[in-house]
Structure 1
Amino acid sequence: MSSGPGRRTGSYGAGLAGHLAAEGIEVTEVNRPDRAARRRSGKTDAVDAGAAARAVLGGHATSTPKSKNGPVEDLRVLKVVKDSAVRNRTQAINQLKALLVSAPSQLHESLAGLSNPKLFVACAALDPHANAVHQALHVLAHRIVRLTAEATTLTRRITAITQAHNPQLMELTGVGPDSAAIRLTAAGDNHERLRDEASFAALRGVSPVERSSGKSQRRRLRPCPMW
């Protein structure tokens, strides 16, 4: 079974790919099709399916898809949620500080010079029934506190999974829980599919491909096949 454009084994086709793999059926990830060829032949499900089948039968598609049933998949989903919490927290902080700029001078002066933690505590303590500005700052401060707690909890969980699954990775200089999770997610639970340095380079999109035209010869980086 091959999975190509529109039915990626990492997203829409993940459930089917996992079921087939569990039944012992070989699943192959088809690389992104050549853009020029796709423009010439058009884009339909039938055309894409035919192109995927020819790529597999011709030996051009050889990538084994990532499995999604182990600790690395747990890291991926937790990292997605943590990143969302961090982004939303940053947005809430920016909104709170923007509101303070135009807040009444007495309120602005009472909160000026506070560090972020003290500022959030002070805003969270404001009476939300006093006026709209107090309510907005109160809501944002509580949102920031909640999202901070979410991110902290998820970081602890990510750290625990990483240390249990690959403790050596966390011992590397400059590698924390987030960067470790990113690296493990790139390799996947079934990292044995990366048979050599060349396959890992292809996964990361850094394998050179020769291109020449007339007397000009150059190399470019091959796009990551596990897109």
Structure 2
Amino acid sequence: MRARVAVVAQVRAILVTAPETLRARYRTATSPALMAALEKTRPSGVPSDPLTSTATVLKRLAIRYRHLHQELALIDAELDAILTLHAPMLRDLAGVGTDVASQLLVTVGDNTERVTTEAKFAALVGVAPIPASSGKTNRHRLNRARDRLANKAIHRVVLVRMRYDSQTRTYLARRRQEGKALRKSCAASNATSPRTSTANLSTRRPPQMVETSEEHAQPNG
């Protein structure tokens, strides 16, 4: 995935200094459309010509992008088969895709003795609240000193839910009405997400979106 992102960045960088005819042709194209268009090009002319050499390099990068895209699709299919076998209900959770589910399984598999309760799982993935009070302020913050890849996976789940999940959007709206900032509300959502993730990692009961209680939301406010 990083290699595919790097190819897109390299193509964009080349287009910045490419001849104006190339820049004008692809200036407004999205990345997938840009790669598809570049792969269909047929550079012709003297290899020493800047326009020809630039177009040739861009076409080669577009072909590399397609190969990486196809490889990622194959990997996702293989990961989906593994997830279906070992954690069939994990993918049913809102916001949990192939990458997130795979990372959570890796984290749990490497720390099976530490994932026995929701609180321990939250501490492992870096979303457990810890005291951060000072003076007259009584508050908590999230403990980030844990598995950073798992923390990133949980954060991605929250971002997806903030946009597409109705219960998460309702919860954030309520937190804002209470005067909580978006950052604090997002942190509270991060702290809540492991509750449903742990259930689907460790049991076979149907997944449920658990509404955040004031007891769990308040420490992050």
TM, length-normalised to structure 2: 0.50
Higher helix share: 2
Instruction: Find the structure with the greater CA-based Rg.
Output: 1
Higher strand share: 1
Greater RCO between the two (CA within 8 Å, min separation 6)? Answer: 1
TM, length-normalised to structure 1: 0.48
